[in-house]
Amino acid sequence: MPVFNFNPLTLNKIKRFKSIRRGYYSFIIFTLLVLLSCAAEMLVNSRALVVAYQGQWYFPTYGDIIPGTQLGFEYEYETNYRVLKKRLQGSDSGFVLLPPIPYNPYETDLKNNQFPPFPPSFEDQHYLGTDTIGRDVAARLVYGFRTAIFFSLILLVVSYLIGVSIGAAMGYFGGLFDLLFQRIIEIWSNIPFLYVIMIVSSIMIPNFYTLIAIILVFGWIQMTWYMRTVTYKEKAREYVMAARALGASHKRVIFNHILPNTISIIVTFIPFSIANGIIALTSLDYLGFGLPAPTPSWGELLSQGSNNLESVWIVSSVIVAMTVILVMVTFIGEAIREAFDPKKHTTYE
Amino acid sequence: MEILKVEELKMHFPVYGGIFYRQIARVFAVDGVSFSIEAGKTLGLVGESGCGKSTIGRALLRLYEPTAGRISFEGKDITHLSGSSLRELRSDMQMIFQDPFESLNPRHTVGSILEEPFQIHRWGTPLERRQEVLRLLDRVGMPADSVHKYPHEFSGGQRQRIGIARAIALKPKLIICDEAVSALDVSIQSQILNLLVELQQEMGMAYLFIAHDLSVIRHVSDQIAVMYLGRIVEIAERDSLYKNPLHPYTQALIASIPVPDPRRRKTFTPLQGEVPSPLNPPPFCHFVERCAYAQAVCSQQTPQLSSIDGSDPSHRVACHFAGRLSHK
């Protein structure tokens, strides 16, 4: 028996998804970007990847701080590897391998007699320039992407867990339970979301998880409606009755029978929810109600850039990055929707 | 021995509406039905679409909660069973559904569909279950490699065989065949009917065979009940019913069976009008609006299901004029 005994219908859907080139390549690139962002410390970091110094090897990326004294400086704080690299150049006592972008998103790189922002410069390895307080724009973009994508992934998982289970329960049990939750949701969805965020962030400074929690409070609703409808539909089909006739419990009917048949609805909505999560975080950050400074974020870069339009590299890089990511996610979403379109292949045939 | 006894079963569905979502009407799907099934025998239940045949089947299996009446299985009242005793009952009573395209979960393999009854009733080890699944497939005439396939890879007849295998998995004593062959081609119908008859002889199950096709019913039934708008209008042994139909509705049904003889001309007058809405059935005899023999008494008294004097006591009919109607 094969390990992955995929339903041929599912294989068919995957095949069609692959045949939609735009969406399939977007999916590959997007997945790569997410995976790469997990290893961002090795690509964008002020710490060196490898240091060989006086016969000793150091790998500072993920370890503890290596104080300057250990690598021949007079200071006790963390070694500046860029300076170390310059110092070791030409000497035979060792070498330093820096990441492609040798800045972390928090450090300010200032120059004498000049005020940031500095324009892009290959010489300084600020490929996208620096922002208004001298932090590297590329580094903040990369780490901001990582924050945004994991923010929306966590939001997605939790809000779908809540939305799918409440929606499935509403559709399955119907009656008073359904009626009650419909009214609760209607009232709930009329609370203006932005005001709640403003009130909450004026009381406390939200961090990553509290921000997820706040958005979650309103974010579970959307999936609930779809799940409710589709569960109503599936519940009325005879295979559910057959399972009930065999003596299957409600739990078994919902999880073994109904949910697998609603999976295409859930999958279809995932890319659009990811895009929504990114947009939500970015706009909150832009308005200043999001993650506290100095967390790298696209919204914060966007607001800096729009306040300093003469430093066009800030606003243009964040807009290009956002557009590319959102367009890719939308392409993926389109392709999935197309591949799962029930008109193309129906299980009723 | 009676395996199943149904007394005055009523199944009404409320209709809600209006601003306050109150009950505004009732659908009288099944309105006072009594019958019994002998162990190992087949009762055919026949009637038009919407007359409540399927509702009876589902109420018997307790998929619906009956509004009133009493259902007893092997002498035990099962009308209000719940929890584990209801689950136990379900291993004794099973159902074969009308639409083999709908009654098998499209996301499950045939193997897991057939294994499910054993999982639910915690029967055997995984290995024993798998062997039993193969045995079941073999019994209904399906190849063993079907186990890894999905329902949509099979034809209608094959799917119905899978449905039958699932129903007989737990060796039930009663199977409700809810229009089990109506969705199939005629040639496949006979194969499936023969399989059902064979299985009955082998395992000694009783069938409640629900259908709208009189020739199918005649092929499989020992006893036949004719339903009209939520009530049984006539119930009799098979031969007695076909030879001597007493209710005007049964007479019309039997007269409408096509005869494969081109020289015979139509002699009967077809029934006029439509079946009244079960939301608002005629208050006494339900058939009164379409009956050629209706008189004043038919809209004043409800006819009771009873045998007529001087004939077979097992042949019962609900008509004020039963036995006095001559074929026009």
Q: A91 and A213 share a domain? A: no
Which among A98, A113, A131 is the end of a domain? A98
Tell me, what amino acid is at A337? R
Half-sphere exposure of B112 (CA within 13 A, CB side): 13
| A237 lies in some domain | yes
* CB proximity A252 to B under 8 Å: yes
Domain made up of B2-221: CATH architecture = 3-Layer(aba) Sandwich (3.40)
Tokens of B126: 């995984």
Contacts of residue B165 in chain A, CB cutoff 8 Å?
A: none
B residues 17-36 closer than 8 Å to A (CB): 21
| A217 lies in some domain | yes
* CB proximity B144 to A under 8 Å: no
Q: Say if CB B244 and CB B299 are below 8 A apart.
A: no
Nearest-10 crossing angle of helices B156-168, B126-139: 130
Q: A171 and A210 share a domain? A: yes
Amino acid B272: pLDDT? 75
Distance CA A308, CA A33 (A): 28
Residue A349: is its pLDDT beyond 50? Answer: no
Q: A253 and A308 share a domain? A: yes
Residue A5: is its pLDDT beyond 70? Answer: no
Q: Nearest CA to CA, how far is B101 from chain A (Å)?
A: 6
What does each C-alpha distance from A269 to A164, A185, A227 come to in angstroms? 12, 19, 11
| A117 lies in some domain | no
Residue A57: is its pLDDT beyond 80? Answer: yes
Nearest 5°: the CA angle B280, B282, B287 is 125
Distance CA B195, CA B190 (A): 8
Distance CA B290, CA B288 (A): 6
Nearest 5°: the CA angle A325, A330, A331 is 100
Q: Above pLDDT 90, what percent of chain A?
A: 35
Q: A160 and A290 share a domain? A: yes
* CB proximity B177 to A under 8 Å: no
Please name which of B157, B111, B118 lies closest in space to residue B137, comparing C-alpha atoms.
B111
What does each C-alpha distance from A345 to A9, A265, B107, B180, B247 come to in angstroms? 8, 15, 14, 26, 48
Q: A211 and A176 share a domain? A: yes
Is there a contact between B90 and A247 if contact means CB atoms under 8 Å apart? yes
Structural domain boundaries of chain B?
Answer: 2-221, 250-328
Across the interface, which of A5, A9, A241 has its CB nearest the CB of B63? Answer: A241
Residues 6+ apart with CB under 8 A from B228: B47, B48, B51, B249, B275, B286, B287
Nearest 5°: the CA angle B103, A233, B62 is 55
Tokens of B324: 């006095």
Amino acid B282: pLDDT? 79
Residue A346: is its pLDDT beyond 60? Answer: no
Q: Say if CB A162 and CB A217 are below 8 A apart.
A: no
The count of domains in chain A is 2
Distance CA A336, CA A16 (A): 9
Counted across chains A and B, CB pairs separated by less than 8 A come out at 73
| A346 lies in some domain | no
* Cα A276 to chain centroid, rounded: 10
Q: A83 and A20 share a domain? A: no
Chain A interface mutation, best of B103, B119, B134, highest count of A Cβ atoms under 10 Å: B103
Question: What sign for the dihedral angle of Cα A236, A242, A248, A252?
Answer: negative
Give the pairing of strands B2-17 and B68-73: antiparallel
Q: Say if CB A134 and CB A116 are below 8 A apart.
A: yes
Is there a contact between A257 and B150 if contact means CB atoms under 8 Å apart? no
Is there a contact between B106 and A261 if contact means CB atoms under 8 Å apart? yes
Amino acid B266: pLDDT? 63
Q: A144 and A186 share a domain? A: yes
Amino acid B327: pLDDT? 47
Distance CA B32, CA B57 (A): 14
| 3-state SS, residue A84 | helix
Q: A67 and A167 share a domain? A: no
Across the interface, which of B103, B105, B120 has its CB nearest the CB of A247? Answer: B120
Q: A221 and A255 share a domain? A: yes
* CB proximity B219 to A under 8 Å: no
Amino acid B162: pLDDT? 93
Q: Which domain holds residue A80?
A: 46-98
Helices (H), A39-174: 40-43, 81-88, 137-173
B319 compared with A145, residue with greater pLDDT? A145
Contacts of residue B61 in chain A, CB cutoff 8 Å?
A: 245
| A132 lies in some domain | no
Q: Nearest CA to CA, how far is A238 from chain B (Å)?
A: 5
Residue B176 pairs in a beta bridge with B95, B208
* CB proximity A177 to B under 8 Å: no
Residue of chain B whose alpha carbon sits nearest to that of A252: B120
The 10s digit of each residue's pLDDT in A33-55 is 999 999 998 899 888 888 888 88
Is there a contact between A247 and B86 if contact means CB atoms under 8 Å apart? yes
Q: What is the three-state SS of A193-256?
A: HHHHHHHHHHHCCCCHHHHHHHHHHHHCHHHHHHHHHHHHHHHCCHHHHHHHHCCCCHHHHHHH
Residue A131: is its pLDDT beyond 60? Answer: yes
Q: A71 and A143 share a domain? A: no
Distance CA B260, CA B37 (A): 32
The interface predicted TM-score (ipTM) is 0.84
Q: A243 and A172 share a domain? A: yes
Contacts of residue B91 in chain A, CB cutoff 8 Å?
A: 247
Residue of chain B whose alpha carbon sits nearest to that of A345: B152
Is there a contact between A9 and B150 if contact means CB atoms under 8 Å apart? yes
Q: A256 and A314 share a domain? A: yes
Is there a contact between B63 and A252 if contact means CB atoms under 8 Å apart? no
Amino acid B184: pLDDT? 85
pLDDT in tens, chain B (328 residues): 788 999 889 888 888 877 777 888 888 888 888 888 988 889 999 988 888 888 888 888 888 888 888 899 888 888 888 888 888 888 889 999 888 888 898 888 899 999 999 999 888 888 999 999 999 999 999 998 888 888 888 888 899 999 999 999 989 999 999 888 888 888 888 889 999 999 999 998 999 999 888 888 888 889 999 988 888 888 888 888 888 888 888 888 888 877 777 777 666 667 777 777 778 777 788 887 787 777 777 888 788 887 777 677 788 888 887 777 654 4
